[in-house]
Structure 1
Amino acid sequence: MSDKSLASFIERTKNQDRGQGLFELENERMLEVNLSGSVWTKMGSMVGYHGQVKFTREGIMSQGLGNLLKKAVSGEGAKLTRAEGNGVVYLADEGKKVVIVKLQNEALVVNGNDILAFEEHITYNIKMMKKVAAMMSGGLFNVRLEGSGLIAFTTHYDPVTLRVTPGHNIITDPNATVAWSGNLEPTFRKDVSLKTFVGRGSGESIQMEFAGDGFVVIQPYEEVYMQHTTG
């Protein structure tokens, strides 16, 4: 018979420092940040912390006038919080799985809703895809991350990475698209022949198409992440 005592529960679920550095998977759905300095985190993702840590919302002008205007127009976007100090911070997002990758002078574009955390010295730019704004309510935000350092993003269930090669384009559902290599620039298109039975009032299917040489990460889940305008 399994031990159902409170002491056994505490022992089974207690946090463990595995000595893996700044970003560590406490479990597959929770990120442990061993903080000594500062990192960027998705706003609202902090579920616990200890130590001397200060949380500051991204300054309204920290990404320049262009991003300020995009946020003002949309009312939404990819919102970030800086965690600064010395301590341990635990991050999670709706129970989604956490993926940690290390950029080595590389660029990665992540769906704005799926970014969880990244090192402060990584250059980032929040971007709204203008071409899709007319197709979706509020458009689609993503975050371009470039440089060297750790980033963490989330996926519903296990992600799959598809290779994009010249002459072999990859077409994805925007609601299932998590990330793609920084050298790719997806295009959007409507396909009126692909009717959907639920969830698309227009009766049109919106798709992302990736061409060139790179990769795209998808998840086995259609996430309704389109940001709606306030009003």
Structure 2
Amino acid sequence: MPVFTVTGEIDPFLHVSLRKGERIFCESGAMVMMEEPLQVKGQMRGGFGRALLRRLANDESFFQQEIEAVGGDGDCLLSPNLPGAIELLDVTPNSPYTLSDSSFLAAESGVEINPRLNTVGGGLFGGTGGFVIMEAVGHGKLAVSGFGSIFSLEVTPGRDIVIDNNHAVAWSSNLLYEVGMPRTGGGFFGSIVNSVTSGEGLVIRFRGQGKVVICSRNKAIFQPQQGQ
């Protein structure tokens, strides 16, 4: 099977070693370098419908890259669009992952990135892809990227965690989550006032058993304003 390795401390590469006949897929434009035995081509993975939903739901490219070891063994280097860290996750039939906007980098061919319905709260208010979000299912390695540094949190029963919605990268699909305002006391109106004055916007509250991957930077703050 392909070997995924994160290499480099600052703005790292994803280094993938493939044996002849193996292949991976990745976000469009992710390939930085590949050895001669490898071949890259664009794929409308999952058909037109899924490709369109990926584009509309998660700001991913309509076409994804497929890299295959055609002429023999070979290595390639991949890089995410935004500067930041890379996290490797193990996707299994019992452990799928939900992905936030633009977090997908690459995966083994046994992993599928499929659309599914978001929660009502997440669709209306969250930065998690609107009413349709993407989920990694199947079996194999999944590489996700976040803006800035990355940290993984373990959620356990009875110990809920609250995360600013702009810092969520990916999470175990079996986790229960809701999008709302941070709890600050003072009732609904007080929560609104405190949310505005503290600078904290919407948050995602996770509960259950599973993993949440977060990043240190908020890409929305760093996006250039129109006209600049």
Fold shared, TM-score > 0.5 on shorter chain:
yes
Q: CA deviation at 1:183?
A: 0.8
Q: Report the CA distance shift for 1:139/1:32 in structure 2 as closer, same or farther (over 3 A).
A: same
| Greater strand content | 1
Q: Report the CA distance shift for 1:148/1:218 in structure 2 as closer, same or farther (over 3 A).
A: same
In the TM superposition, 1:16-31 aligns within 5 A as 22-28=3-9, 29-31=12-14
Q: Does 1:174 align with 2:165?
A: yes
Deviations 1:98-131 (A, max 9, x none): 2223345532223241221110112331346363
| Match among 51, 59, 68 for residue 77 of structure 1 | 59
In the TM superposition, 1:1-231 aligns within 5 A as 22-28=3-9, 29-36=12-19, 37-59=22-44, 62=46, 65=49, 67=50, 70=53, 74=56, 77-79=59-61, 80-86=64-70, 87-93=74-80, 94-105=82-93, 106-127=95-116, 129=118, 131=120, 132-135=122-125, 139=130, 142-190=133-181, 192-193=192-193, 194-195=195-196, 205-224=201-220
Q: Report the CA distance shift for 1:45/1:127 in structure 2 as closer, same or farther (over 3 A).
A: farther
Q: CA deviation at 1:169?
A: 2.0
Q: Report the CA distance shift for 1:135/1:110 in structure 2 as closer, same or farther (over 3 A).
A: closer
Q: CA deviation at 1:34?
A: 1.6
Are the aligned partners of 1:77 and 1:141 in contact in 2 as well (CA < 8 Å)? no
Are the aligned partners of 1:78 and 1:142 in contact in 2 as well (CA < 8 Å)? no
Structure 1: stretches of 5+ with no match in the other structure: 1-19, 199-203, 226-231
- For 1:121, give the aligned amino acid: G
- For 1:149, give the aligned amino acid: G
Give the number of equivalent residue pairs: 198
The farther-off stretch of 125-134 and 43-52 is 125-134
Are the aligned partners of 1:96 and 1:156 in contact in 2 as well (CA < 8 Å)? yes
Are the aligned partners of 1:78 and 1:143 in contact in 2 as well (CA < 8 Å)? no
Provide the TM-score with structure 1 as the length reference: 0.69
Structure 2: stretches of 5+ with no match in the other structure: 182-190, 222-228
Q: Report the CA distance shift for 1:127/1:223 in structure 2 as closer, same or farther (over 3 A).
A: farther
Deviations 1:70-102 (A, max 9, x none): 357x38633332222343221012332222233
- For 2:143, give the aligned amino acid: A
Are the aligned partners of 2:2 and 2:17 in contact in 1 as well (CA < 8 Å)? yes
Identity %: 22
| Greater helix content | 2
Give the Cα separation in 2 of the matches to 1:173 and 1:43: 28
Give the Cα separation in 1 of the matches to 2:212 and 2:69: 34
Are the aligned partners of 1:181 and 1:215 in contact in 2 as well (CA < 8 Å)? yes
